[in-house]
């Protein structure tokens, strides 16, 4: 918040809401801009679990009126899946084939295809393939 004035001091607070819930841990700092005008800055850290609106409000004081900033929408990309890979070593005897089951676990009920591929350095003479290479997630399964 920039007052455009050099005095009187700001004594109100800046408060934030996320999806209409008060955000805690807000730090407010008063300083001046390059022209010596009073400014009030506020910061906080949040880890949103979903897309949501953030709003800021200056509470006002005896010298300055309450002020609301336009809301900001933060879009959160929620992971659609995770991979369950067996722990421990995977040993294949030279010249033999091996199979390892990897599970694709949906994180939401959103429908989406997941394409898997082999990557990295394999020993000379070995190859990697995935069957199926595309898994269609639908309704949490």
- What are 113-126's pLDDT values in tens digits? 888 888 888 878 88
Tokens representing residue 11 in the block: 């004594």
Domain assignment of residue 7, yes or no: no
Q: Within this chain, do residues 122 and 135 fall inside the same structural domain, yes or no?
A: yes
How much of the chain, in percent, has pLDDT values that exceed 70? 96
Residue 57 pLDDT exceeds 90: yes
Q: Which residue, 23, 55, 74, sits at the end of a domain?
A: 74
Domain containing 101: what range? 78-141
Domain assignment of residue 61, yes or no: yes
Q: Within this chain, do residues 95 and 122 fall inside the same structural domain, yes or no?
A: yes
pLDDT tier for residue 137 given thresholds of 50, 70 and 90 = confident
Quick check: helix, strand or coil at residue 83?
A: strand
Q: Give pTM, 2 decimals.
A: 0.55
Mean pLDDT of 80-92: 85
Q: Within this chain, do residues 93 and 45 fall inside the same structural domain, yes or no?
A: no
Residue 140 pLDDT exceeds 70: no
pLDDT tier for residue 1 given thresholds of 50, 70 and 90 = low
Mean pLDDT of 43-56: 90
**DSSP 8-state secondary structure symbol assigned to residue 2:** B
């Amino acid at each position: 918040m920039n007052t455009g004035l050099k005095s009187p001091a700001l004594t109100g607070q800046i408060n934030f809401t996320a999806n209409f819930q008060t955000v805690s841990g807000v730090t407010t700092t008063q300083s001046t801009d390059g022209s010596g005008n009073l400014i009030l800055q506020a910061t906080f850290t949040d880890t949103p679990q979903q897309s949501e609106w953030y709003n800021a409000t200056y509470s006002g004081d005896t010298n300055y009126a309450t002020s609301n900033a336009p809301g900001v929408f933060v879009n959160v990309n929620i992971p659609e899946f995770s991979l369950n890979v067996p722990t421990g070593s995977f040993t294949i005897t030279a010249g033999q084939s091996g199979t390892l089951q990897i599970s694709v676990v949906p994180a939401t009920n959103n429908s989406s295809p997941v394409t898997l591929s082999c990557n990295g350095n394999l020993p000379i003479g070995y190859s990697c393939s995935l069957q199926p290479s595309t898994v269609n997630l639908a309704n949490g399964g």
